[in-house]
Structure 1
Amino acid sequence: MVKLSRPASAGHGLPGRRAILALPALLAAHRAAAQAAFPEAGRTLQLIVPYPPGGGNDIGARALAPLLEQELGIGVVVQNRAGAASQIGMTQVARARPDGYTIGYGLWPQTTTLYLDTARQAGFTRESFTPLALHVVDPGAILVQAGSPLRSLADLVAAARARPDDLRMSDNGQLGHEHLASIRLQRLAGIRFNQIHYQGAGPAVTALLAGQTEAGIFAVGTSASLIRQGAMRAIAVLSREESPFLPGVATAVAQGYDIVAGSTRAFVGPAGLPAPVQARLAQALERAIASPEHADRMRQLSIPITFQGPEGFARYWIDEERTLGPLVAELTREGQRD
């Protein structure tokens, strides 16, 4: 005779039920442990610079990378992904896996105007990124070749007035801070430049040095060393006060043109970074930026540090977006975006 086993009692079934009920907690604990392990030994962090070598973003990223390596304990590789006024590189950051191993060192307002300008179809918005740290606010300057007859804003305006749509003014990318400052000068002075856009400061500086353009707007940190070497001359600084890195150069405001503009450089990750990963990256960036070694290096490069953490940077970005939205829409309607 075959004996039939009795059904398990409720008491006998408890261990299996408890295991099932405990599964979500175990999975959550596993996820937390995986996040806490960031960064993993042996991994490499990609730091994407969406501009060519030689510009302010590239210089700042490479100055910080070794210190960031020390803070994170993993390798940091700077990768230049230039093109489309930084759109190519920033798109790569936005589409990266949100695991903390790909971050970007972008430029504002350039990043903001890329998606505000609907004609560009950027494919990302502010919500496509996780803010990590604001690093630098570097004021702009209007530069000419060292041997240029233009020695002031008055000279530049007079030359442009005498040659409408002909005087060649360069910038680092369409609707970046340099281009927007040039538009403001043209409006205030009632003039029109032959505006030429380049894919970053490196090519724009090269064009000015080669005489392919007659003037250009660059961040002070990008141009200060060339000015000290006697290759270029600044005729105006685009800040409220004179720059300590360009002593004796009058501001545009002091020369009668209320133009204040600059290059804001900051670190972002893709949207969806886990909070512990965001916090770890933000902490490492803050410590690296605050280090005496970095402060000394940035002084040598004539680049001012203006640090803000994720919350402060997020507020800055939102305010910039609100300010620039109507302006970009107006420029697009008027056909001045080019």
Structure 2
Amino acid sequence: MRSQRRLILAALSATAFAAAVGMPSSAMAQGYPGKPVKLVVPFPPGGITDVIARSLSNHAQQAMGQPMIVDNRPGGGGVIATDLVAKAPADGHAVLLAAIGQAVVNKHLFKKLPYDPNADLAPVSLIAQGPNVLVVNASSPYKTVADLLAVAKKSPEAVTFGTYGNGSSPHLQAALLMQRTGASFTHIPYKGSAPAMNDLLGGQTTFMFDSLITSLQHIKAGKLRALAVTSPKRNALLPSVPTFAEAGVSDFSFMAWYGIHVPGKTPPAVVERLRKEIDEFAHSPAIARQFADQGLELVSSSPAEYARFLASEDKTWSAVIQQAGITID
């Protein structure tokens, strides 16, 4: 009897253990979010990424019943913020709002990262995209992209471009333009986009790739001239400005984009709950209009679609970086 009882107790213990092992994913998903969600942003307050984060935060708090707290963690090219989320518990309470640098480019710029970008992060959804614009000082002699390229091919040292740092998105766009056209420009990296823009406005540099919303005020004020937008189609905010294809560079385009990531082993049901909220956010007419006025289109995707998009971007920009020999460390 005693041995039979021990067998029964052992069987019951094994069943309970198996149930406990199988519980976390489904139970966690049903109770998610069980506390405030931290939305980590790799940039300082005030930029477009921060605007996206705070708008999403407001929507998510109403929809999910828990605060979504924006946590700005600039520095290290986004490595600090990315590492924070990559090493957080995989329960959906730490979320990364990433741009191209954090999601794709950094692993090709840094020789060593404190996290595994492929294993330690999981894609949830794209959330927004928008074009950049190539701008010159309004007093510049360059009226078209062709004017700029003609001089750059003859005298590369005469054509300079400012960026907010080595390996930054504007740096990569300029590298791609050089590779597509055979022109050469001189890179001047700054510690931030504001000083780079100040020097362009002051005539110290020749041109800059910048976000549409940042440059728009200076274009409308007559301080900058837009030569081309980087999107495949013209933008409604600058309808008279041509695309690069229309300006004579047929194989050049770029869209700034932003996406949501979570720690790598986050349960699929939790990922799906986040994706659902992003989809509702992106398809809210009122919110979409607000961002359209800033040159951004809100979008959403499945994790699988976003993963395929990331793979395509990785293929493009890894080749650009390798050919240009761009490194951070």
Cα deviation for residue 223 of structure 1 reads 2.9
Contact 2:134-2:209 at 8 Å conserved across structures: yes
Distance 1:158 1:46, change over 3 A: same
- 8 Å CA contact 1:110, 1:176 repeated in 2: no
State the Cα distance separating 1:305 from its structure 2 match: 2.2
What is the percentage of aligned positions where both structures have the same residue?
26
Query: C-alpha distance in 2, partners of 1:122/1:113?
Result: 15
Give the secondary-structure state (helix, strand or coil) at the position aligned to 2:96.
Answer: strand
Residue in structure 1 matching 2:219, options 199, 224, 227: 227
Gapped regions of structure 1 (runs ≥ 5):
1-6
Give me the TM-score of the superposition, normalised by structure 2: 0.86
Q: Is the 8 A contact 2:82 2:102 kept in 1?
A: no
TM-aligned CA deviation for residue 264 of structure 1:
1.5
Counterpart selection for 2:90 from 98, 118, 121: 98
Alignment of 1:22-101 (within 5 A): 22-28=15-21, 30-31=23-24, 32-40=26-34, 43-101=35-93
| Number of equivalent positions | 326
Cα displacement (A) at 1:303: 0.8
Alignment pair present for 1:269 and 2:229: no
* Whole-angstrom CA distance in 2 between matches of 1:111 and 1:124: 12
> How far 1:14 moved relative to its partner?
6.0
* Counterpart selection for 1:19 from 12, 18, 25: 12
Q: Which is higher, the Rg of structure 1 or of structure 2? A: 1
1:184 correspondence with 2:137? no
Is this contact kept in 2: 1:69–1:75, CA < 8 A? yes
Q: 1:3 maps to which residue?
A: none
- The farther-off stretch of 28-37 and 275-284 is 28-37
Partner-residue secondary structure (3-state), 2:225? strand
Q: Work out the CA distance in 2 between the residues paired with 1:146 and 1:60.
A: 30
By how many angstroms is 1:174 displaced? 3.3
Residue pair 1:99, 1:277 contacting (<8 A) in 2 also = yes
Of 290, 294, 297, which aligns to 2:290? 297
Aligned pairs (5 A) from 1:229-268:
229-258=221-250, 259-268=252-261
- CA 1:306–1:245: 2 relative to 1, 3 Å: farther
Contact 1:51 1:199 in 2 (8 A): no
User: Could you list the runs of 5+ residues in structure 2 that have no partner in the other structure?
Assistant: none
Per-residue Cα deviation, 1:226-259 (whole angstroms, up to 9, x for no partner): 4334443311111222112211001222121232
SS of structure 2 residue aligned to 1:307? coil
Correspondence for 1:130 among 122, 145, 162: 122
Of 143-152 and 201-210, deviating more is 201-210
Going from structure 1 to structure 2, the CA distance change for 1:194 and 1:9 (only over 3 Å counts) comes to closer
1:218 aligns with 2:173: no
Moved more, 54-63 or 126-135: 54-63
The 3-state SS of whatever aligns with 1:103 is strand
**In 1, Cα distance between the equivalents of 2:63 and 2:20?**
29
Contact 1:172-1:218 within 8 A present in 2 as well? no
Within 2, Cα distance between the matches of 1:57 and 1:228? 23
Where 1:125 maps in the other structure, the secondary structure is coil
- Cα RMSD after superposing both structures: 2.8
Confirm or deny: 8 A CA contact 1:117 1:329 kept in the other structure. Answer: no
